[in-house]
Structure formats: structure tokens, C-alpha cells
Amino acid sequence: MKLTPYLKNLDSFIAAVIGFYAIYLFTNYSGVGLSPDSIMYASTATNIQAHGSLLTFNKTPLVFFPVFYPFFLSIIQFISRVDPIAAGSTINSCLFAAVVFTSGWIMEKFISHSRIYKWIILIAIILSPALLEIYSFLWSETLFILEILLFIIAYWRYEQRHTTKSLLVVAAITAIACITRYAGVTIVGTGGLLLLLDNILPLRKKIGHILLYGFASISLLVGNLVMNSLSTGLSTGTREPSITPFGKNLYYFGTVICDWGSLSKDAYPFAAVVTSVILLALIAVLLWKAYKRSINSYENIVIAFAVVYGLFIVISASISRYERINSRLIAPMFIPLLIACTSWVPDVLILIRMKAIKYILAGIAVIMMLAFEYSISLTDYQRYDDENDYGVPGYSDDSWNKSEFVVYLKKHQNIFKTGIPIYTDADEAVYLFTGMSSTLIPHKFLTGNVQKFYTQKRFYLVWFDNLYNSELVSLPEIMKNKKLVKIGEAKEGQIYYYDEAAK
């Protein structure tokens, strides 16, 4: 009996329900995890919903991040009337369930379809420490990863039709992804590469489709950047040159891959080699498929994205300065990389004619994957055990919720007189726990901002002792230049006041 598409994906639906429950478990104790980025997104979403403005908690335009994720949260807030932070756990549970189901839907369409392979990969996705971490936080990656999978489906449908309408659907998804995360340009690159390698499109039509896709897919991003430039003079915020060379970024990338593969730190010395081998192997496979004129398949779309995203992260990290390459930064390529590195197994097994050898090799492959999944499940359990005691790391865990200084700050907001600026080493924390706007202490390397800060005639300074950011002007440095008066104190923090007239 031929199964309908819905019955074929019943296993994906069951896996999605399990994925939903997994995120619920990890965020049940203290709610969704909150980082400085999370508060930036949530506050902007609230301002969009309430005032139709793209202002963050510190009353500055949202520039460092694109606009769509806060807009997405604002829509949910408008419908549910629930603050994004309060609703974050449910939002992420739904998004992770959608990611799991969509991954299953994609694997159902593989050339060499294997039900066992599909189940094993779905389990690996659900148990992935990298993805469980991402979906435990209020981060834009939660939506971006789903958009990547939707792009893969849309592009596969385009390959079946090669119509302008289907290409515009691909371009629309790509355009939205580009204003969800700036790394969405990797989807633009993936689509362009696949169009270039497409062996069915006639040359004239190929050129037209590449141009159409290119212009349409970056349209929203260009609009976002122009809006940023007009409002602040900076298209993507302040960006500094990289301080990590290409070789070092290959190493950092490889250490994340080693962690994803549950390898010990003994493998770290070979991390750069691991990165190079994986990326070069995937590039070789993609070029070989193009040479054999068999580029149009789900598997190859997945490989193409893994290649483009991996190269983009390593190269861009060597040009522009941002956080060191870590699991969060490359998590959007986890599912494509997992599939790209394993989807060949069913293909190879089909080619083996001797059943005994086929079953032996299949058994070995299954045992290896189950051993891998057992290993990552131990990592998950340890993390769950910790977070069930203290909460998801960040501003929603007990180190903040039960902080004596945070409690003090909440009860003594009357200390602050209106009209006098508030500076702090954690402006997002001040907003989250008090609702007050403040200004972050300037970075040392932004000398103009440092000089401007020191020209202030009056200001408050809220200092959190449990934070340390070596790039910010330190408290001792400020005290050398300004005679601060302590007006409030509790364990883990102090409140200072400076008045030039009081000298």
C-alpha cells in the first residue's frame, strides 16, 4: 500500500513531539536562557509591538543585528499578549519541533531512502548538545536554522520545475533569512552556487535566474542596511578588524567539530586538519556530483550549504572581529554537516550485492551511530542535571535571580534621579531586572567614546562584580579619572555617583 506524504512522515512528527518536550525539560526550571543578545531581541520586539519602533532597551536603534527575529517575536507577542522572555520556552520548543520534523521531511526524499538511517539521524538531532543549547536560549539562530531547512526544501522544489515562480519562493525565504541573521548571505551563496552547477538549465536561462535570485534574495538585507546607515551612520554597527588569523580559525572550528563528535581534547592538536579535511572532502564531493551531472538532489543541496557556511565562518572570522568561533556560531550547519557526512552510507550499502557483507557493514554503521548518540546523551544528562539545579546559564539562572545585588537594585531604584545618565558594565542586566535604560561603559579601543564618557559632568555607575569584560574600561581605571562616591552596595555589586560640581 502506498503511503500518503503525511503517513510517511508520521515518524518525523513523533520525533518532533519528543524534540518539543526536550526543550521543555531544559528550560523548565528557570525559563528560556537569556544572554545580552536575548535581551536586545526581546526589548526590540516589545518596542515594535508597543510603539512600532526598532529601538532596543537602551533607546538606540537596532543595528548590530538584523530586524526580522525581533519582528517575529513581536508578532507572537501581539497575538499572545505575552512578553517574549516569558513565552521564550514555548516559542523555542515549537521551533525545535519544526526543525526536527522538517529534517525528517527532507530525509524522506533522499535518493537512497533508508528508514533506519532517518531514525538514527533524527535521534542525533534531538540529542545534539549544540542544538539543545541553541534552543534553550532566546537567540535568532533558533529561527535561522529552520529557515535554512525551508530553503533546502524550496530549492529542491525549484529543481523539479525550474520555473520563475518556484525560484522566487526560494528567493523570498533567502531574503527573510538574510534579515534574521547577517550570516543569511551564506544561503544567497548556496543558491547561487547550485544555480551555477545546475546541468539542466540552458545557459541563457541560468544567467537570468542567477541574476533574478541574486537581486531578489538580498533585497531585504539591502533595505535593512540602508535603514541602519540612515539612522546611525553604521550599516551593521561597529565592526573591528579580526585579531585571529585564518589558521587559528581553522583550529577553533575544528575544536567545535571534535566536541560535536564527542572526541576528547586529545584530538584538539589535529583540529585544523579536521576542518580542512571535512571542507575539502565536501567540496570534492560536490564538484564530482556536478561533473557526473547529478547535482540536483536534496543531499547535494545540503552539502552545498555546509560547504558555503563553513567557508564563510572561517574566512569572515579572519577578516572581521567577533566572538571566537564556537558551537553557537557554527550551529546552523550542524544538521547539514551531519547529513553531508553520513548520507553516503545508504548509497554505498545499496551498491553491495552480497547480503551478508551488506548486513555486517550496516550493523557496524548502526552500532557506531548508537555509540555516538549514547555519548552525547551523557553530555545532555549532565547539562540537564546542572540546569535543573541552577537554571540555563545566563541572566535567567540562579546566580542572577538570587543575587543579593540584583535584589538590592530592584528595591532601591529611587536612588536614581531622572535626567542623570546611568552607566554600567551590564546595561542589559539593568534593563532586565529594573526596566531602566542605561549606557554600557565604553570599550577601551573606542578612544573617542572613552573621552566622551570622561567629559560627563554627572552620572551614576552600576557595577556588577560577577562580570568581567577585559575590553571595557575597568572600575579602577574609572576611579583614577573620576572621584566616585559609593551610594549603594550589596554582595556582588555597587552603585556609584559622580558629580563634577561636588569636587
Average pLDDT over residues 318-328: 87
For 335-371, how does the pLDDT look when each residue is reduced to its tens digit (9 = 90+)?
A: 999 999 998 888 888 888 888 888 899 899 999 999 9
Which of 289, 323, 351 delimits the end of a domain? 351
For 193-218, how does the pLDDT look when each residue is reduced to its tens digit (9 = 90+)?
A: 999 999 889 999 999 999 999 999 99
Residue at 214 is within a domain: no
Tell me: do 345 and 248 sit in the same domain: yes
Say whether pLDDT at 468 is over 80. no
Residue at 213 is within a domain: no
What is the C-alpha to C-alpha distance for residues 237 and 249, in angstroms, rounded to an integer? 23
Residue at 14 is within a domain: no
Alpha carbons within 13 angstroms on the beta-carbon side of residue 127 total 24
Which of 335, 351, 367 delimits the end of a domain? 351
Say whether pLDDT at 289 is over 90. no
Residue at 184 is within a domain: no
Tell me: do 345 and 449 sit in the same domain: no
Alpha carbons within 13 angstroms on the beta-carbon side of residue 363 total 6
Tell me: do 420 and 493 sit in the same domain: yes
Which of 351, 374, 389 delimits the end of a domain? 351
Residue at 334 is within a domain: yes
What is the C-alpha to C-alpha distance for residues 185 and 214, in angstroms, rounded to an integer? 10
For 76-102, how does the pLDDT look when each residue is reduced to its tens digit (9 = 90+)?
A: 999 999 999 999 999 999 999 999 999
DSSP string, 22-86: HHHHHHTTT-SB--HHHHHHHHHHHHHHHHS--B-TTSSB--SS-SHHHHHHHHHHHHH---HHH
Average pLDDT over residues 414-429: 91
**Are residues 73 and 42 in contact, defined by beta-carbon separation less than 8 angstroms?**
yes
| Number of independent structural domains in the chain | 2
Residue at 397 is within a domain: no
User: Coil, strand or helix: which one is 137?
Assistant: strand
Tell me: do 248 and 338 sit in the same domain: yes
- 55 forms beta bridges with 61
Mean pLDDT of the chain: 91
Tell me: do 410 and 475 sit in the same domain: yes
* pLDDT for res 5: 61
Tell me: do 432 and 330 sit in the same domain: no
Residue at 483 is within a domain: yes
SS3 content of the chain, % helix, strand, coil (to 5): 65, 5, 25
Residue at 35 is within a domain: no
Collect all residues with Cβ–Cβ distance below 8 Å to 280 and sequence separation of at least 6. Answer: none
Q: Which domain holds residue 444?
A: 403-502
